[in-house]
Structure 1
Amino acid sequence: MKNVFPLFFLICSLSCTTPKPVNYDYQESYMIIGYQEKYNIFKNSKPTELNEQEISNLNRILEDALSQYNLSKTSKFDLNDYKRQYVPVINDLGEKEVWINCLCNQNNENWKNGIILVEDGGSCYFNLKINLSKSKYYDLIINGDA
């Protein structure tokens, strides 16, 4: 009977934990969301994951993109004011790309559950794509930007 308890404890500890959902990786300011074709963001792409170094590079490129954008505008963007949804893929050339959807700091948890799409919404919402393989951003879209 003594030998059964450690085995029972091991089995329960392995099976009683709550795993993270496969498509989501949560951080306080961003969420990594697995790509699905229904999002229609990229063509001929496959879902992939991001490691810590790639996330660091992604954030650096994102900061650079906002800095460049801010040079030409009177109202400035501060990334700390936004939650971010990252959707990473491998494109048909084998390059890693990420679509970033930025939302004004959300008081609710809906932004963690899936892509938030809005029509207009002004500067509270913007998105862009980053090619990590080339360290370049493109398709920066600020909602309501004229």
Structure 2
Amino acid sequence: MMRVASTLVLVVMLLANTACHDKNGRETKTNAQAAINSFPSNQGLPPLDSSRFTVIPYDLERDKHRLSKVKGASLTAQEIVFTEYLLNVCVSKHNLEQRIKLQKMRETHPKITLKESDFIINLPNYKRQLVAFYNGKGEKKVWVNCFCKPLNGTEWRRKVVEVDDGGNCYFNTVVDLRRMKCLGLSINSVA
């Protein structure tokens, strides 16, 4: 798994450094889309499991508190694969940071029992909801909502899952398809 994460980080870094800039160093929308279109789908990860994700259309009324001044967009199959790869990279980076933090906490407070599962995200255990949109500059992004405990059977395929608290069982991020990166990782707090 660590080898896969390392490969993903390397591929994404190479794509981000070469595919998003023209010869003068300016970002280009065309090159970013070309990178997505040519992104290899055989990087050692299992194929996408459609039972683990759904694409939900942007809805102004529902999404106005989290996505303002945007317009709904659709996703190609390659953009979904690319979103998943970038999510894996983002979560791998988060987990590395959390393991370092956990180790320091264990050294500082040896009498307190701390479970790694409370700190890291085991992404294969999560379902994902993808909401694609264009921002005010016309850049395509994907809000990715992840959760490990789906509510109400298959309703998660049609309705955005929103909960208070829940810890690292619930988190979300925005994947920037133009810049090829995650824009932060927002993890629910614990009650």
User: TM bucket by the smaller chain?
Assistant: 0.7 to 0.9
Unpaired stretches in structure 1, ≥5 consecutive residues: 1-26
1:69 aligned residue (94, 112, 115)? 94
TM-superposed CA distance for 1:77, in Å, is 1.4
Structure 1 runs, 4 residues or longer, greater than 2 Å off: none
Equivalences for residues 95-114 of structure 1 within 5 A: 95-106=139-150, 108-114=153-159
**Alignment-derived partner of residue 78 in structure 1:** 122
**How much identity, in percent, do the aligned residues show?**
34
Of 57, 69, 79, which aligns to 2:82? 57
Q: CA deviation at 1:56?
A: 1.1
Residue 57 of structure 1 aligns with an amino acid whose one-letter code is F
Which letter maps to 1:83?
Answer: K
Question: Which of 89, 111, 114 is the matching residue for 2:133?
Answer: 89
Q: Which amino acid aligns with 1:98?
A: V
What is the SS of the residue equivalent to 1:59? helix
TM-score (norm 1): 0.76
Q: Distance in 2 between the 1:95 and 1:136 partners? A: 13
Distance 1:110 1:139 in 2: 27
Distance 2:149 2:75 in 1: 23
- After the TM superposition, which of the residue ranges 74-83 and 89-98 deviates more from structure 2? 74-83
CA RMSD, Structure 1 to Structure 2 (Å): 1.7
2:58 maps to a residue whose letter is: Y
Higher helix share: 2
Q: Which of residues 44, 68, 72 is equivalent to 1:47? A: 72
SS at match of 2:164: coil
Q: Structure 2 matches for 1:22-33, cutoff 5 A?
A: 27-33=50-56
Q: Which runs of 5+ in 2 are unaligned?
A: 1-49, 100-115
Over alpha carbons, which structure has the higher Rg?
Answer: 1
Structure number with the higher strand fraction is 1
Secondary structure of residue in 1 paired with 2:79: helix
3-state SS of paired residue (2:146): strand
